[in-house]
Amino acid sequence: MTKYLMFQGTSSHVGKSILTTALCRIFFREGKHVAPFKAQNMALNSFVTADGGEMGRAQVAQAEAAGIAPRVEMNPVLLKPTGNQTSQVIINGHPVGVMSAAEYHQAYALKAFDAVKSALDKLSAEFDTIVIEGAGSPAEVNLKANDIVNMRVAKHLNAPVILVADIDRGGCLASIVGTLELLDDDERALVKGLIINKFRGDVNLFLPAVEFLERKTQKPVLGIIPYIDKLGVDDEDSVSLDDKISSGAGDVTIAVVRLGKLSNFTDFDSLAGEEDVKLFYATTPDELDAADVIILPGSKNTSEDLIALREGGFVEKILERHSRGAAIVGICGGFQMLGKKIFDPLKTESAHAELDGLGLLPLETTFAAEKLTRQVTLDVDFNFLGNRIVGKNLDGYEIHAGTTKAYLTQNADFDRGIFSALLNNSTAKTLPPFNAPNYFAECDRRLSEQKIISGGNVFGTYVHGIFDNDDFRRQFLDAVRYSKHLPPLEFVRNFRAEKQKNYDRLATVVRENLNMKLLAEIMSQS
């Protein structure tokens, strides 16, 4: 019989996701067949499963901690904000439409709960333990009637709930007491314990507060979890971006432009962890002056973000830095921005049917109604900053709408150079005549296959997670080092192995500070 454990919080960002990850790892190390679950996620940080389904990135990290492959059943409902209080609604990994907040909560959420129940049935039939994450707070009285991610799930499973509070924010005791007070009697009965998270200082000084809480709420405090610096675990949303400024030596300074609809920010965690990298998220154009590399990241609304960049002075600054030799990189939506034109005939992202891109790559993109989601394995061979970068069997994933095609510029040398690169680095002598129709048809085919397009000090790709490939990441950084007349670094990190160590470290800290015996008793009674 499947055992359940659910973490709910007094608010967002109190550590529910991290504690779910920790318990998945703890149970995995105990030999349990454990899976994570979150009924509904609202996040722009997503992932593509092996069968092409889209799900929240936090549940991917939790699955990794549990030693299993991620599946859309672990996050059956995903909401991706698109702007103007609307979100793309993704059910079982596939989009079903764009809805306003009112449309979703008032008319659709309870229908989506059917997908939640079906996903839970599938996981329960396969796993002996499921660790469940709630969202926000169960005491949001204005949303409670149609909430499908907190107490509705707990009631459906009769799952024991552990209420988590973040003491680092302040007001911890009041948030716990207030949350419990706002719950209905049957909901309050499902809360079997409390956890104080992100504690700093001498825990002995907090013990009188623990005694107060247990007396006031009649709920045991299962643990006081210390603040854990540099977790190295994927986050659910961009609330955590301010914590992601790296403290490397700064031989290579990387600025990621903080777009309004920035998505998949975990693309850059592997870069931020390098010892020679100083990575930060830029909110003003002037911050780009210090950067050796400027990255335009993925975006849930490429058109609106591109307009905002132009109005905010970012485009002018990026073009200036490019002319001075700074490396410019575009990922997914950022890749589309690097081209000459973006066409949106169906007005899928904005009221603009056509927008000028930055013109740094000879490409044009046309948006379509359907979204492409797939995992990819690719070989690359291209020139960047005067260096050849070669990679075999690199992996990543694509999430984008629209197609990108080769575009003829007025610079013949640039055109011949970049299209030669597209055609597998063939020499000009082996290519069809430059103005022949099959030349561009072949380039478009190779554009789809190559995944990375480069020209001089610019490259772009649709592939998320490309920097998680260790040798590729090191070659990229060393190319920047060469451009600064610095020697390469010989050490190549194993990013994925580091993530596994981080899961173990997290599990060890949580286990040492959690009453595991009482937790086991609580789960056995469910």
Which active-site residues does the annotation give? 332, 464
Measured CA to CA in angstroms, residue 410 lies from 342, 360, 399, 416, 440 at distances of 18, 13, 31, 11, 15
Query: Cα separation of 445 and 423, whole Å?
Result: 9
**DSSP letter, residue 397:** E
Query: Cα separation of 344 and 348, whole Å?
Result: 7
CB burial string 318-347: b at 16+ within 10 A, e below = beebbeeebbbbbbbbbbbbbbbbbebeee
Measured CA to CA in angstroms, residue 520 lies from 130, 210, 222, 351, 451 at distances of 13, 21, 11, 55, 48
Residues whose CB is less than 8 angstroms from the CB of residue 388 and which lie 6 or more positions away in sequence, other chains included: 381, 382
Three-class secondary structure of residue 502 per DSSP: helix
- Rg over alpha carbons for the chain, rounded to the nearest Å, is 24
Query: Cα separation of 217 and 227, whole Å?
Result: 24
Query: Cα separation of 136 and 143, whole Å?
Result: 11
Both tokens assigned to 37: 């679950």
Identify the sign of the CA torsion 208, 213, 214, 220: negative
Strand stretches in 38-93, DSSP E:
40-42, 46-48, 54-56, 77-83, 86-91
Cβ pair 302, 462 in contact under 8 A: no
Cβ pair 84, 123 in contact under 8 A: no
Cβ pair 115, 91 in contact under 8 A: yes
DSSP characters for 406-434? E---S-HHHHHHHHHHHTTT--GGGSPPT
List 254's β-bridge partners, or say none: 279, 293
Helix axes 495-512, 16-29, angle to 10 degrees: 90
Neighbour tally for 315: CB within 10 Å: 20
Question: If we measure between CA atoms, which residue out of 253, 333, 240, 234 comes closest to residue 293?
Answer: 253
Burial class (CB in 10 A: 0-12, 13-18, 19+), 412: exposed
Query: Cα separation of 424 and 422, whole Å?
Result: 5
